[in-house]
Amino acid sequence: MSETAQKEPQNPLVEGLERLPIHPTTLVIFGGTGDLAKRKLLPALYNLAHEGALPERFTLIGVSRSDMPHDDYRQMAKESIMQFSRRPPDEKVLDRLLENVRYVPGTFDEDSIYEKVKETAEEFDQGAEIVFNRVFYLSTAPAFFPVIVGKLGEHGLNRHDESEVRVVIEKPIGRNLAEAMALTRANLGVLREEQVFRIDHYLGKETVQNMMALRFANGLFEPIWNRNYIDYVQITAAEDLGVGTRAGYYETSGAVRDLVQNHMLQLLALLCMEPPVTFSADDVRDEKVKVLHAIHAPEVDRVKEIAVRAQYASGMAEGKDVPGYLDEPGVPPDSTTETFGGIRLEVDNWRWAGVPIYLRTGKRLARKITEIAVTLKPVPHLAFDQQGSVGVQPNQLIMTMQPNEGVSITLGAKIPGSRMRIRPVNMEFLYGTAFLSQSPEAYERLITDAMRGDATLFTRVDEVIAQWRIIDPILQAWSEEPGPLPKYPAGSSGPEEANGILMPGHHWRTI
């Protein structure tokens, strides 16, 4: 039942409140003992409780395979929160939060767990004399998504006459276009699209949302935000760490599936989209989808011209020797999983046609940084003598998501002295210097949005499909090529081969 479908009595008391009420909610975490639940979801729920930001009435049901009583699950949740919360927990708040936690053991294909979840949720309703909304959070391996969604449907948990039912799904949505479409069909056979909240936690980051503020709350940038002024764009998501103990997952994913198909294409879409009419969920996502549709999917036999992959070799990181990817524990010696991916795309629309957009991501690079660099075209005429200086460089606008969140602009400035010599200088805005508040964890924002039913920061089905349509031919071409892959030394800026996809005159920024 849609909350907006009926004419509602108003609540004038919410006017002016910073935290708007959220309807009482029962959150069910499938995979309640998993790594994501322990490290992110349970600590996020505690922090929301600490700040008084959970619904006035909130109950939690953990579902997982391990057989344990409620109290053991509460103890596990308590320990996870104490270990991973961004603030030291207040024991009284934590204890009260855990009082409303239940646990349902079982495998996700067992009918009994769904009946038990239903029964427990109804007990919460009866105890409170109010019908809670239901949010099912699928924090499981992707293979279980269709199983769980199907069972929710079979047991009538996919809708409720008196409350809202929502399902939160973690990435990856499939490993390729065909799987994504199959999964989508399975979901939408049971749920309406408005009920599905596909998490891309990048979108929950304040600095990513700030991109929209930068573009649409400032008259300074919009006039130059087009092919007439912008030469090229680079989006970088570099990690300094290796694959560590995650080889099992990484071997099924690789750099492009892990970061490009979802997070980096979302950044691209936010960077390139037209101003939405409003910041409602569908208006924003409509504009993002238009951008993704304007990117031509590469032809498989031309992938080499626009995409490059590589693996890190042994090298030095943080002052010590580190192994190459193929020597990491759990990685097969003949693995062709890429740890670096670089792709050149173009958005073929009126605003962006002809502007290359370079995406690159990798592990074991020189440092951890996520940034978008927009390089403007050079000035049309130079009256200055460039001798004795590095000369006039094109302006760059750099939006850094991590580690030093902020925006900087490179400008040409006169070097002090008797001659008119120019060098680039930086004008910087650091996010942390201008706001008192510490940014909440992305999951805190996204969990409350899902409970509230605000899908603005979640990925809509047509976005997912459009993202896969771009990436699928690249992965297909790579799957048809034998190894070994090009190598780059651990701790470097990436493989030499990455230069091969750059257009003449363009260069990668130093990582």
Report, as residue numbers or ranges, the catalytic residues: 263
What is the C-alpha radius of gyration for the chain, rounded to an integer number of angstroms? 25
As a whole number of angstroms, the distance between CA 332 and CA 195 comes to 40
Count of Cβ atoms closer than 10 Å to residue 323 Cβ: 17
Is the peptide bond between 276 and the residue preceding it cis, with omega within 30 degrees of 0?
no
Question: Which residue number, 133 or 234, has a Cβ lying nearer to another protein?
Answer: 133
Q: What letters, b where the CB count within 10 A reaches 16 and e where it falls short, cover 434-465?
A: eeeeebbbbbbbbbbbbbbbebbbbbbbbbbb
Using CB under 8 A, count the residues that bind another protein: 51
Which residue in 152, 148, 54, 36 sits closest to 98, CA to CA?
Answer: 54
Give the shortest CB-368-to-another protein separation in angstroms. 8
Give the shortest CB-131-to-another protein separation in angstroms. 9
Interface with another protein (CB under 8 A), residue from 4, 10, 218, 418: 10
Q: Point out which residues pair with 458 in neighbouring strands.
A: 199
Q: Which stretch binds another protein (CB under 8 A): 274-282, 286-294, 435-443, 460-468?
A: 435-443
Determine if 95 is a binding residue for another protein (CB under 8 A).
Answer: yes
Residues between 24 and 63 with contacts to another protein, criterion CB under 8 A: 24, 49-52, 54-58
Interface with another protein (CB under 8 A), residue from 65, 68, 106, 130: 130
Determine if 432 is a binding residue for another protein (CB under 8 A).
Answer: yes
Residues between 376 and 405 with contacts to another protein, criterion CB under 8 A: 403-404
Question: Which residue number, 347 or 450, has a Cβ lying nearer to another protein?
Answer: 450
Stretch 214-233: interaction string toward another protein, x if CB under 8 A = --------------------
The DSSP H or E segment spanning 99 is helix 91-99
Interface with another protein (CB under 8 A), residue from 416, 437, 482, 505: 437
Is the separation of the CB atoms in 458 and 309 below 8 Å? Answer: no
Give the shortest CB-365-to-another protein separation in angstroms. 13
CA angle 76–167–147, rounded 5-degree value: 85
Interface with another protein (CB under 8 A), residue from 2, 5, 67, 99: 99
As a whole number of angstroms, the distance between CA 466 and CA 472 comes to 10
- C-alpha count within 13 angstroms, C-beta hemisphere, residue 447: 30
Give the shortest CB-277-to-another protein separation in angstroms. 25
Determine if 128 is a binding residue for another protein (CB under 8 A).
Answer: yes
List interacting residues with another protein (CB under 8 A). Answer: 3, 8-19, 21-24, 49-52, 54-58, 90, 92-97, 99, 127-130, 367-368, 403-404, 428, 430, 432-438
